[in-house]
Amino acid sequence: MRILVYGINYAPELTGIGKYTAEMCAWFARQGHTVHVVTGMPYYPEWEVHKKYRGRLWHKEKMDGVTVYRCPLYIPGHITPMKRIIHEFSFLASIFPVWLKTLFQKKYDTVICVSPPFHLGFFPLLYSKIRRVNLITHIQDLQVDAAKNLVMIRNGHLLNMMFGAEKFILKRSTAVSTISTGMLKRIKAKNISHSKTILFPNWVDVNAIRPVLKEYSLRKEFGIDVEDKVILYSGNLGEKQGLEILIDTAKHFENRKDVHFVIVGSGGNKENLEKLVKNKGLKNIRFYPLVPNEQLPSLLAMADLHLVLQKKSASDLVMPSKLTGILASGGCPVVTTEKGTSLYEMIDKHSLGILVKPESAFDLQQSLEKALASDLSIYKKNARQFAINYLSKDSVMRKFELEIYSRLLRKEILSFTPSTKIASPINALSMEKN
C-alpha cells in the first residue's frame, strides 16, 4: 500500500501522540508499505522546537524507512487557549504547499489523519474526495469535548462551530478509529455509524519495555536508596492531568523521609507546578526531564507506585498513553478516574492497579499510604500479563492493517464492473493506482 499520514506530532518526540504516530508509520514501512508523513517540527512536550530543527523551514527527511515532510509552525512560549489555536492554525496553513504537491503525485491508497488538532482533517478529507481514496481519521484525544468540559474555551458560538466542523469531517471519513472503548462510545454518540468505527488502542513494545530489578533502575543516578519508596509521575505536565493534587499529596508525606515523589516530563503546566512546590517549601518532590527511550525501562523500574492522574472532566475524553509502558514494565499504577469509564473498567476488571476518585487529595493520600504498606505483587504480575495479551505492538498493528485492507477491498468491490478483471482479493488490493 501507499499510505499518507497527517499529524502535527511525530518523532523524535519521546512521548504523547507523536511517539505513537511515528511507531505506527515505522511498523507499516517494515511491512513493505510506502509511507509518507506530513508533520511539524518536533516540539512536544517541552513546547520548544528541538535544537536540531530550529531555524529550518519546509524540508524532507527519512526516518525508519518513512519519508517525512516537515513544515514550520508557531510554537508559543507561554500556552493559552488562544495561542494554542494560533499554533494549530499555523500548522494548517503551513502544510498547504505540501498538500498541493501530493495532488499531482502518484495516488495514495489510504490517508490517515491523526487528531488533534481536529481541523487538520480538512486537507486530508479534500484530498480523499479529489483523488477518491479512503480516509481514516484517528482520534487520540477528543479535543473539542475536552475544550468544553475543561472550560478551556468559554465562547459557546465558537464551541458550536468546532463541534460542527468536527462532525463534518467524521461523517465524511471512510472510517474513524480511536484508542479506547469509552472514546468509541462518545464518537458513536456523535451519530457516527458503528460500521465506520475502529478500536485502535495505543500499544507497547513488550520486548523493549519489560520488568527490571530496582537495583538496575535509575535510583542510583537520582540519588535514591533502593529501600526507599518512590512515587513516580512520568509524562506530560499539562492541564488535563490536574497535577496540583500531587503537590497537596506530597505535603501530606513531607515527614516521611523514605518517600520520594519524582516527576519526569515537561509541558505547559510545569512552571506553575515548580512554583507551587517552592512556595510550599517541599523537599520530597523532584523534577527531571524526559529520559531517552533506551532508559525508559530503568526509569519505570525505580517506582514502587506509578501515578496516572486525570481531572474528572477529562474522563473518557483521553486515554493516558503512559499507562501502556507502566503495565509492560510490571508496575503498579494508581489511577484517578471515574467509575463507569473505560479506564476504570479496564483496571478494575483485570486487577491492574489501584483506583482513586479523581480530584480528591484526601482519597489519593489514603490510597498511597495503604499501597505503600501493601504487597503489590499481584497487580504487577497482572499488569505485565495484560500488556503481553492485549497491548503488544505487532498484535494491535496487525489488526489495524487488516481493517485498512478490508476497507480497500470493500472500495474495490463497490467500484467493480464486469470488464474489470480481478483474480483475487489480493490482486484487488495491489491494483496500480493512477
Query: Within 10 Å of residue 339's Cβ, how many Cβ atoms?
Result: 10
At 336-363, the pLDDT tens digits run 998 988 899 999 999 999 999 988 889 9
Q: What is the pLDDT of residue 420?
A: 39
pTM for this one?
0.84
Domains and CATH numbers, the chain: 2-202+393-430 (3.40.50.2000), 214-390 (3.40.50.2000)
Residues forming a β-bridge with 322: none
At 195-222, the pLDDT tens digits run 999 999 999 999 999 999 999 999 999 9
DSSP 229-298: EEEEEEEE-STTTTTHHHHHHHHHTTT-TTEEEEEEEE-TTHHHHHHHHHHHT-SSEEEEPPPPGGGHHH
Whether 253 contacts 259, CB under 8 Å? yes
What single-letter DSSP state applies at residue 356? Answer: E
The four Cα atoms 164, 169, 172, 175 give a dihedral, to 10 degrees, of: -130
Q: What is the pLDDT of residue 315?
A: 63
Q: What is the pLDDT of residue 223?
A: 93
Q: Which residue in this structure is represented by grid cell 481531572?
A: 311
Q: What is the pLDDT of residue 151?
A: 73
Amino acid at 73: L
Number of residues that make up the chain:
434
Q: Which residue in this structure is represented by grid cell 512554583?
A: 275
Phi, psi torsion values for 328, nearest 5 degrees: -65, -30
Residue 287 to residue 269: CA distance in whole angstroms: 13
Burial of 395 (0-12, 13-18, 19+ CB in 10 A): middle
Residue 219 to residue 160: CA distance in whole angstroms: 49
Q: Which residue in this structure is represented by grid cell 504547499?
A: 97
Residue 60 to residue 70: CA distance in whole angstroms: 6
Average pLDDT for runs of 10 along the chain of length 434: 97 92 97 97 93 95 97 90 92 97 95 96 96 96 84 82 93 95 92 94 93 94 94 82 83 93 86 89 92 93 94 69 93 93 92 93 94 96 95 94 90 51 39 39
Using CA of residue 20, residue 232, residue 357, residue 281, what is the dihedral sign? negative
Q: What is the 3-state secondary structure (H, E, C) of 387-403?
A: HHHHCEHHHHHHHHHHH
Q: What is the pLDDT of residue 239?
A: 64
